[in-house]
Amino acid sequence: MPETMEAIVIPRFGGPEVLEIQTVPKPEPVAGEVLIKVHAFGVNHAEMHMRKGEWDEWNPITGLECVGTVEACPGGEIDVGTQVIGVMGGMGRNRPGGYGSFVNTPISNVVPIKTNLPWEQLAAIPEVYSTAYSCLFTVLDLKAGETILIRGSTSTVGQAALNLAVDAGARVTATTRRTERFDEIKARGAVDAKLEHKDLQSEFPSGFKFDKVLNLIGNSVLVESISLARPGGRMLQAGWLGGLAPVVDFNPMVEMESGVHFSLFHSKVLGTPEFPMSKVPIQDIVSKIERGAWDAKPAFVFEYNEIHKAHEMLDSHNAGGKIVVRHY
């Protein structure tokens, strides 16, 4: 008989209560891929939208990332038993994802990691830091001494971006809708913290512009975020914390200044030839976190059979950091 495993499944669209732990066939090893035994996984907002039926692609076994050990690697690229992270590569979108006990992941999206961090802490790192690094240094080309505005800095990607940008020597202004976290933002090295709201330009001197802007709020502040970048500067949108509603009646001729570069980044491209995982220094990032240079501990850790509670926390938008599910 075929081997089986446990997996958290989306049998129908709806709230956290629709998620079910089911017995399903265990994936077979596939050439060009790595079969990972999952020990923990991060929970992402995209998975909430998939569960609700609001995402463009989804798989009944969702999960954009995981950490674990190599169960099999037919190509021999990574030894069995190696500690690895797996991120994107279609996981949870057009193929089963990390919410299973085992998952096949393209070799391009698997990175061996040496660390003594516990699984649940390691699981808080892959997607957010890979995304934040790609945004800041691959797309925005952030340099030491440049000014950057990070909108949504207390989100998971925002916290990672703040750590990385400060470490690179940039002058960071960070926004949050939580005034009680201003001191934390400044302690992380931001030169200023601002309350996130529309008409953010009113918080700055007339005519002031940033070299770079990272917008994690989304379409609701897209046009305004473009206006906060200087001519020759760059604005990158890489999050949708404010929801998925489209921009209505956007008129670039009227609402954009000449010379501002506007880009989009979606983490589903991680591991593609254009955005290879080899360009993300994930081992260095993990080592810095292990040494205590940055606080990247998950805000909440749930057990596998507590997936409903994990998604209830996700839906609340009040986690204040990464939600992780442990699967030992």
| Domains present along the chain, CATH in parentheses | 4-124+297-326 (3.90.180.10), 128-268 (3.90.180.10)
How far CA 245 is from CA of 105, 220, 287, in Å, comes to: 31, 8, 38
- In this prediction, the residues of the chain whose per-residue pLDDT falls under 50 are none
pLDDT in tens, 94-131: 999 999 999 999 999 999 999 999 999 999 999 999 99
Rg (CA), the chain: 20
Q: Whole-model pTM?
A: 0.93
How far is Cα of residue 235 from the mean position of the Cα atoms in its chain? 18
The DSSP element (H or E) to which 175 belongs, if any, is: strand 171-176
Report the C-alpha gap between 313 and 322 in whole angstroms. 10
Q: What is the pLDDT of residue 1?
A: 67
Helices (H) and strands (E) in the chain, counts: 9, 15
